[in-house]
Structure 1
Amino acid sequence: MSTTPPNGDQGWSAAPPPPAYNAPQPLRPDEEKTWAILAHLLPFVVSFLAPLVIWLVFKGRGAYLEHQAKESLNFQLTLLIVSIIGGILTLVVVGVLVLIAAGIGALVLQIMAAVAASKFEWYRYPVSIRFIK
């Protein structure tokens, strides 16, 4: 009695091809613009977490969005450092002025960045430490 199948196959078959790697699809320009605007405006609510999450989730899916998210993240980290220093300096009244100036500056610059993003312009914060390049 033969154990070979009738088609002559010895039981060895080629392995099925591996599933195709699903590379992330690039974002459409309107999607990039929307997420870039959100990367500049959401920090009003959740600080540096919004641009960080946007940058990590959409990394490699659009150069414009990646740049804007990194810019916003760098600015938020700079603002966080200034706020900590201002909080420490409140012991010497000057800190209150630092915190007020930082708050007004953040409001103005983030709105300017969001407006630039809505026009699909590459915006760079003027006062920001470049932690992430």
Structure 2
Amino acid sequence: MNLINQSKNPYAFKEVSDNETTIAMVIWLLSFFTSFLGPLIIWAIKREDSAFIDQQGKNYLNFLISYLIYTVIAAILVFLLIGVLLLFILSIVIVVYSIIAIVFVLKGQDYVVPFTIEIIK
């Protein structure tokens, strides 16, 4: 059991069990295989069970939506040739931040990916 409290909401969660960290890790890990569908289903089923799982599901969906917006902007900029470079950089950044999120979640710590727009609160 990990004792944590690094969330934006100081009352969100105090203790995180190994089961909670595993489920939260699966939310982030499934993004490599199912994009949004797998994490969305797990979050929808398990969000009532744990504040930590709920927060990580929200963090993932906010990350997904934010970086989808950035990808669309980069795709539009392909016509100016800078978009190709931006798409390449974004693809690397998405993988790296997802791996970092998995590491944080396995430690029982809240992780919000940089440059993520908080759409789902």
TM-score per shorter chain, which class? 0.7 to 0.9
- Equivalent position amino acid for 1:41 in 2: L
Q: Is the aligned partner of 1:53 residue 2:38?
A: no
1:68 Cα deviation from its structure 2 partner? 0.7
Look up the match of 1:132: 120
Look up the match of 1:31: 19
Q: 2:80 aligns with which of 74, 92, 96?
A: 92
Tell me if the contact between 1:51 and 1:70 (Cα under 8 Å) persists in the aligned partners: no
Give distance in 2, aligned partners of 1:125 and 1:53.
Answer: 21
Ranges of 4+ aligned residues in structure 1 off by more than 4 Å: none
Tell me if the contact between 1:48 and 1:77 (Cα under 8 Å) persists in the aligned partners: no
CA deviations on 1:59-94 (whole Å, 9 max, x unpaired) are 211001110111011101111111112122212211
RMSD: 1.5
- Equivalent position amino acid for 1:114 in 2: I
- Equivalent position amino acid for 1:97 in 2: L
Q: 2:69 aligns with which of 78, 81, 89?
A: 81
- Equivalent position amino acid for 1:77 in 2: I
SS of match in other structure, 2:68 = helix
SS of match in other structure, 1:42 = helix
Higher RCO structure (Cα 8 Å, ≥6 apart): 2
Give distance in 2, aligned partners of 1:105 and 1:126.
Answer: 10
Tell me if the contact between 2:47 and 2:57 (Cα under 8 Å) persists in the aligned partners: no
SS of match in other structure, 2:113 = coil
Q: Is the aligned partner of 1:121 residue 2:109?
A: yes
Look up the match of 2:92: 104
1:49 Cα deviation from its structure 2 partner? 2.3
How many matched pairs? 106
Larger CA deviation: 61-70 vs 82-91: 82-91
Give distance in 1, aligned partners of 2:65 and 2:37.
Answer: 10
1:54 Cα deviation from its structure 2 partner? 2.0
% same residue: 38
Consecutive unaligned residues of structure 1, counting only runs of 5 or more, are: 1-27
Pair member with larger Rg: 1
Q: Is the aligned partner of 1:70 residue 2:58?
A: yes
